[in-house]
Structure 1
């Protein structure tokens, strides 16, 4: 069978024989060079910025190499992700899905300044001993602190109370005395003090400007609304602001396009903070399926 090779000229292939055996065509294809428009590529820092629990250090193309005597700062390829926004830690007794980390130096925090990690685990009462590797700017070796608390963030009467089903927790690592005046850049959850980690969460610390706190904020649980309730959302936002709310934090699990437009409007005014959200583990992430899944799960919990 014979093919005309002339169309290959538009790919920049110099193929002088217009007709020839079919075996010649694949040989010519080895010389193809795609014209890639690199101008449309996003900068690494912009990509990392969208996955908001990643440390900004991953957005630097050439990071400084720092020697570590305990553990190793995880490279981006070392991290284990679940559904984009969750980082995974497999322990000897259960799996943890980590969402975010915060620096807590409030006066009443006991026993002292801490890093708190928000996540989920497939255990009712995690008994595994874990540690936080606290990564500070300019240090290759992490500061290690024990996890002193797994605070359960659910009420047993609501159902879903069994091993094997993901449970929400707030973990606390107390920062050692030597570093209590410094905020770590990121934190990794490990079992052994010097284990190599598969997670690395940016530690959030947003102190109020000039030490003045705002009145109050409103936090909305993950929204999975597929109907258009945009007008009701406007009414609700305006009422909150009249009552003195300074900001509303919204987590988007999949919402109607008109609601997205409303959120973008208030976000541009600095009144709303919108974060994309997914369900961790083996739970669905497809829009439209999440709502049906959560509704079915709520019904099964009510029947328990």
Structure 2
């Protein structure tokens, strides 16, 4: 019988070899898939819009964005707008921006005046279009302005950090900035703000400018407003910053006349938040701080008061003379304060007119006031060097620059005359509070009467009755 080779074991061995090969190939392919996934996670494809911007937004060290490196941000959607409340799209909560300023005193940044949620504000970033055609995306910090009365929304700062970008703050003057929600930073911006310069100009040391909170409830005291303007001009004020939420037709005409004379910067103020419900009165703390930075390049002194208040010096004729004298009393001069707070005294308009009033002016007729003025920081108002302040409040300064200080002014040097319509805590306050006669305002009455009369004659020809 002839021998034949056994085929079955050979076929089994071949099948085993094939199975082993398939097993090895399976793990090889699986390994390639896993490695590919890992590489894709580390380096997103440049054709993906989301991945292009997530790469630019990681690290927040201020990456310069150009088409050459694959990052080409959307161009501005419209021209930059100053002093207009503009929305930040894509946020969970309401978020609006108003103005932007160079901040180069203690850090290099762009400071944006904003209004948003007091606590837990949305994360945002800043995109800058510089004058040399560079585009820069930087991290931003939202900082609520402290005087917010714990309401849901607050006047806030957005600080666009220039740290590690190689860009100095002063290089951003004249640039355009947009505030973007971090979650949708790859989209075109819904706001564009020109970055305004804050570098003081030469020769402004004695310039006194005045800040006033937003007009609202269709403010209509036009006759008094003329007297208030002319008295402050006699006291040395050369410019006024005002914010218009709503005005009567007559007051609007008065302000327009002063604006055309170069005395008033009148800014629109239509903040889309409910006053006293969502945010403190008309977002007034955003206005105070916008005024601070807006005046920084041109004002040596800034006086923050309301339109029913006047600061009257007791010895000097003007406020710049008073402030200069107060600072010169410090030795060495480097120790001189940067801000002076004036104590408040109410002159209630419901009290009887002064029988000895030399003119029909309100400040001449209303000379009875509280005998004891309020304490400093209780209804006080203030004058300050703008370059030495960081954050303003209503009755005092929340934050000064390092090394700067604020002091109260003795009442024998100056007093805040507060011509208030309503008595505090009801009508009984008018009867019960100890009062005294104060005719300090009569020092200016003759010249003031001449100026008010002339101004009202001019207004009678230009403003409707």
What is the TM-score with the length of structure 2 in the denominator? 0.39
Partner of 1:51: none
Does structure 2 retain, via aligned residues, the 8 Å contact 1:133–1:144?
yes
Count of residues in Structure 1 that have an aligned counterpart in Structure 2? 208
Cα distance in 1 for residues equivalent to 2:254 and 2:85: 27
Partner of 1:201: 193
The offset of 1:276, in angstroms, is: 1.9
The 3 A distance-change label for structure 1 pair 270 and 92 is closer
Partner of 2:131: 137
Instruction: State which of 144, 166, 191 in structure 2 corresponds to 1:178.
Output: 166
Q: Compare relative contact order (CA 8 Å, sep 6+) and give the higher one, 1 or 2.
A: 1
Partner of 2:255: 263
Q: Deviations over 1:214-257 (max 9, x none)?
A: 53322111112536411211111122222222211111112112
| Residue 229 of structure 2 is aligned to residue 237 of structure 1 | yes
Q: CA RMSD in A?
A: 3.4
Q: Deviations over 1:186-210 (max 9, x none)?
A: 1111234952222211112254433
| Residue 242 of structure 2 is aligned to residue 250 of structure 1 | yes
Taking the TM superposition and a 5 Å limit, the aligned residue runs for 1:68-217 are 69-76=71-78, 85-105=84-104, 109-110=105-106, 112-121=107-116, 123-139=117-133, 141-156=134-149, 161-162=151-152, 166-176=153-163, 177-180=165-168, 181-184=170-173, 185-192=175-182, 195-196=186-187, 197-205=189-197, 207-210=199-202, 212-217=204-209
Q: Which of the pair is proportionally richer in helix?
A: 2
Cα distance in 2 for residues equivalent to 1:298 and 1:179: 36
Does structure 1 retain, via aligned residues, the 8 Å contact 2:88–2:181?
no
The 3 A distance-change label for structure 1 pair 217 and 173 is same
What secondary structure is seen at the aligned counterpart in 1 of 2:259?
helix
The 3 A distance-change label for structure 1 pair 120 and 298 is closer
Cα distance in 2 for residues equivalent to 1:214 and 1:187: 32
The 3 A distance-change label for structure 1 pair 95 and 205 is same
The offset of 1:89, in angstroms, is: 1.2
Q: Structure 1: any 5+ residue segments left out of the alignment?
A: 1-65, 284-292, 300-304
The 3 A distance-change label for structure 1 pair 195 and 95 is farther
Of structures 1 and 2, the larger Rg is shown by 2
The offset of 1:76, in angstroms, is: 2.3
